[in-house]
Amino acid sequence: MNQLVECVPNFSEGRDSKKIKEITDAIESVSGTKILDVDMGADTNRTVVTFVGSPEIVSKAAFQGIKKASEIIDMRKHKGAHPRMGATDVCPFIPVSNISMDECVAIAKKTGEKVGKELNISIYLYENAASNEERKNLSTVRSGEYEGLMKKLKEEIWKPDYGPTKFNEKSGATAIGAREFLIAYNINLNTNDRTYANEIAYELRERGRWKRKGNIEPFYYKGDVVYFEEKTYPDGNSDFVASSFEELADYYYKKYGKNLRERYEGIGLDPDDLVGKPVYKDGKFTNVKGLGWVIPEYNRAQISMNLTNYKIAPIHDIFDAACEEAEKRGIKVTGSEIVGLIPYDAMKSAAEHYLSKMHKSPGLPVPDLMNVAAQSLGLSDVGDFNPEDKVLGMPKTNGELANRITFDFVDEVSRDSPAPGGGSVAALSGALGAALGTMVANLSTSKAGFEDKKEKLAEISKKGQITKDKLIKAIDEDTTAFDKVIKAMRMPKDTEKENKIRGKEMQKGYQSATLVPLKTVEDCRNALQICLDISEIMDEGMASDVGSGALMANAGAISAAYNVRINIKSITDNQFSNNTEKKLAELLSDCEKLLGKISINVEECL
């Protein structure tokens, strides 16, 4: 499966769109990079760029972006509201699909080393890539900002992980790290009373509600007066409710530009002495920040949250907990909203969670899984939710051939062109075999008599979907592989040098055209395993479907094997040919054994 990594570099320029265009052009100069968002901020004088790609591509694209920023941004002239220490201030790598955090840490280290060495920029690793505990927190790494960097670099404790210890006046320093995906998530309530949203937010988020000890009470603000009376909840007309004086002071400063603590200390009052220092209880979920607000556009209250690790605090568990808390208060959750993007794995987990509660099989096609998750979470409650636009890393079948309807594909095969040919048809045959085995597993999940086999059926159906998707992808891969041979054949051969280059490229093409159908044989073998697994627990009514699936998968394996053998004849590398033939023989032997077992199980039911 394709690996996908997100990278979100922050550049210390938010006012000159031409400079940002130069940076994004540099990022996109790496083929395979896809920029998802460019967010410029004039006040902060900072731009956040979000792009995705494979591990190797993302690392190269990040380097090009950092390189261009170092050329056109001069930190000696930079002023802005946001903390910063370099032209590229921070550059995190985030796992999206089919990649681990450890792999993203490796990308961060590789990129950091290259930037430090080739661009002469001091690099600090942070978050999951940090070299020690003290450097995990970005705010700690960035303390002192650009202005304090010269002094900081002289301290042994702040020696950079990569790059020079000498101060780079123009570019400053850069923090490069690896972190989990952040999901901006709102849950909608059937009320426009902000108090309810705040109450539920306190129950859900990591730092929960204040503990009521002694004279500790919530602060609340109304008009131009801050009240410290012993009142558990302010009335509905209060402008703002805070769980700490600092939270209230921050709100007051943003609204009036005045320091609330200084105001009260100026008249001889110490807010901390007056009300005590709040102590908090733990909320239900770690890695969740949240508060309540009212959205006039929707005429309802929302619980607004940032989920900083959806693997520890899954979105579906948070949604279910919000529903329970709302029910306790006599209100309802009407749905929820994803702000920005959400990883495919988070949506897939939600779909499997709700399918399990429905006693349904989780082994469904990707569009079906996305539909289940979106409906269960009510993601279209306040706006349209299109998985194609909102779900990052969702597996897609973009092949021209695979996306054709059946009769169109058959017509294309019948035309007077060498591709698509037997390899593509073999992949389709194997995909249909895997699909039939998966279908039987999915149908059996809700049948009487299979209650104790639900976990086994779920495992079969999920593996079946993965195998089916790989074979569908191979429909186009086989044609693409053979296209490399055709392209090499058309290369010039007028000189000895041209002939040599042409021959070398043809060999590469033939090897590629051999390995693709070999992988198809392997996946057809896996499709047969799916059919065998379900044949051992199926009922009589499903035997014909399982048998048909097995025959289709085996036919795909034999057909793909023909393509392997025909291409081996053109390969001059004997070691490659011998290894391939050995692997092919092993796979075909496995297929024969699997088909034999399936046939016995099917015949016993007929």
Q: What percent of the chain has pLDDT over 70?
A: 86
3-class state of residue 287 by DSSP: coil
- Residue 476 falls in the annotated catalytic set: no
Cα angle: 555, vertex 558, 561; to 5 degrees: 145
Provide φ and ψ at 325, rounded to 5°: -65, -35
Summarised one tens digit per residue, pLDDT across range 122-165 is 999 999 999 998 898 888 898 889 999 999 999 999 999 999 99
pLDDT at 221: 43
C-alpha span between 583 and 562 (Å, rounded): 14
pLDDT at 211: 52
3-class state of residue 571 by DSSP: coil
- Which band of pLDDT confidence, cut at 50, 70 and 90, is reported for residue 332? very high
C-alpha span between 602 and 542 (Å, rounded): 9
Higher-confidence residue of 398 and 117: namely 117
Structure tokens at 324: 């329970």
Inform me whether the pLDDT recorded for 269 exceeds 70.
no
Inform me whether the pLDDT recorded for 225 exceeds 60.
no
Reference 146, options 126, 114, 121; nearest CA is 121
Whole-number average pLDDT of the chain: 86
Beta pairing, strands 240-242 & 225-227:
unpaired
490, burial (CB in 10 Å: exposed 0-12, middle 13-18, buried 19+): exposed
pLDDT at 534: 96
Provide φ and ψ at 330, rounded to 5°: 75, 20
Inform me whether the pLDDT recorded for 73 exceeds 90.
yes
Tell me the mean pLDDT in the region 34-47: 88
Contacts of 479 (CB under 8 A, 6+ apart): 401, 419, 420, 421, 423, 424
Residue carrying the six token digits 């006046």: 169
Sheet holding 240-242, edge to edge: 225-227, 219-222, 240-242
- Which band of pLDDT confidence, cut at 50, 70 and 90, is reported for residue 236? very low
DSSP H helical segments within 121-220, as ranges?
A: 138-141, 149-153, 194-204
Going through 236-287 in order, the beta strands assigned E by DSSP cover 240-242, 279-282
C-alpha span between 24 and 287 (Å, rounded): 31
pLDDT at 208: 64
pLDDT at 1: 54
C-alpha span between 383 and 337 (Å, rounded): 8
Reference 49, options 61, 58, 57, 40; nearest CA is 40
- CB count within 10 Å of CB 167 equals 16
Summarised one tens digit per residue, pLDDT across range 78-99 is 998 788 999 999 999 999 888 9
- Residue 82 falls in the annotated catalytic set: yes
pLDDT at 182: 87
Inform me whether the pLDDT recorded for 473 exceeds 50.
yes
Going through 138-239 in order, the beta strands assigned E by DSSP cover 173-178, 183-189, 207-211, 219-222, 225-227
Contacts of 169 (CB under 8 A, 6+ apart): 75, 76
Reference 92, options 48, 54, 143, 133; nearest CA is 48
pLDDT at 397: 62
Summarised one tens digit per residue, pLDDT across range 514-553 is 999 999 999 999 999 999 999 999 988 899 999 999 999 9
338 secondary structure, DSSP code: E
**Exposure b/e, 432-461, CB count within 10 A at least 16 = b:** bbbbbbbbbbbbbbeeeebeeebebbbebb
Summarised one tens digit per residue, pLDDT across range 107-121 is 999 999 999 999 999
C-alpha span between 41 and 370 (Å, rounded): 33
Do 55 and 107 touch, CB atoms closer than 8 A? yes
Do 23 and 62 touch, CB atoms closer than 8 A? no
Which one is catalytic: 478, 523, 533, 545?
478
pLDDT at 98: 86
Summarised one tens digit per residue, pLDDT across range 423-464 is 889 999 999 999 999 999 999 988 888 888 989 999 999 999
C-alpha span between 526 and 531 (Å, rounded): 9
Beta pairing, strands 122-127 & 173-178:
parallel
pLDDT at 529: 97
- Measure CA of the first residue to CA of the last residue in the chain; give whole Å: 38
Provide φ and ψ at 601, rounded to 5°: -65, -40
Inform me whether the pLDDT recorded for 234 exceeds 60.
no
Strand partners, 35: 51
3-class state of residue 524 by DSSP: helix
Instruction: For each of the domains in the chain, give its residue range(s) and CATH number, in order of start.
Output: 4-178 (3.30.990.10), 183-356 (3.30.70.670), 406-605 (1.20.120.680)
pLDDT at 235: 38
Which one is catalytic: 74, 78, 82, 193?
82
Residue type, position 509, single letter: G
- CB count within 10 Å of CB 429 equals 24
Beta pairing, strands 183-189 & 207-211:
unpaired
pLDDT at 527: 97
pLDDT at 218: 44
- Choose the weakest-confidence range: 47-51, 62-66, 230-234, 474-478: 230-234
Summarised one tens digit per residue, pLDDT across range 175-215 is 999 999 888 899 999 999 888 998 899 899 887 665 544 33
